[in-house]
Amino acid sequence: MDNLTVDIRWLLDVQEDALSDLSVRDFSALQAAVARHRVNTPQLGVKADAAWRAAALLHTIVLLNPLPARNPLYACAVATYYMTAAGEGMDPPYGGLVDLVREIITGKTDVFGTADRLRAWRIA
């Protein structure tokens, strides 16, 4: 389901499920993630698919840090939940998500590289 979009309530549900002991510090960062993942044409010639939408959520949460702590863990949970909700489960290699988050934080990959990685881990 390439056009599945979520809202802040969905992100808060994931946060409560994955990290029940933390509250949101910056709701504007969550709003930015929601807005970004809803873009249908993120780049000329590129149509948004489930992997790109999950990558936009993951990338934005990692960089904007909406929680007081454990944002990388939250971002990975959001991407995983999103891909599952979109009907495209993921099977990343051991440590794959950790490595991907490190690459996002250090600027070694962007949202498009993140989407490519998520696509490579898809299971149908």
| pTM of this structure | 0.94
Give the pLDDT confidence of 13-36 residue by residue, as tens digits: 999 999 877 789 999 999 999 999
Average pLDDT over residues 66-95: 95
The reported pLDDT for the residue numbered 40 is 84
Give the pLDDT confidence of 46-79 residue by residue, as tens digits: 888 999 999 999 999 999 999 999 999 999 999 9
Average pLDDT over residues 77-106: 96
DSSP string, the chain: -TT----HHHHHHHHHHH-TT---S-HHHHHHHHHHHT-S-SBTTB---HHHHHHHHHHHHHHH--SSS-HHHHHHHHHHHHHHHTT-EE-PPTTHHHHHHHHHHHTS--HHHHHHHHHHTEE-
Percent of the chain with pLDDT over 70: 98
Please choose, from the candidates 13, 106, 29, the residue with its C-alpha nearest in 3D space to the C-alpha of residue 67: 29
The pair of structure tokens assigned to 117 is 């990685």
More confident site: 103 or 89: 103
Average pLDDT over residues 37-54: 88
The reported pLDDT for the residue numbered 1 is 60
Topology, domain 8-123:
Four Helix Bundle (Hemerythrin (Met), subunit A) (1.20.120)
The reported pLDDT for the residue numbered 38 is 92
Please choose, from the candidates 105, 114, 107, the residue with its C-alpha nearest in 3D space to the C-alpha of residue 83: 114
User: Where are the domains positioned within the chain?
Assistant: 8-123
Rounded Cα distance between 100 and 116, Å, is 11
Residue 109, pLDDT > 80, answer yes
Rounded Cα distance between 56 and 29, Å, is 12
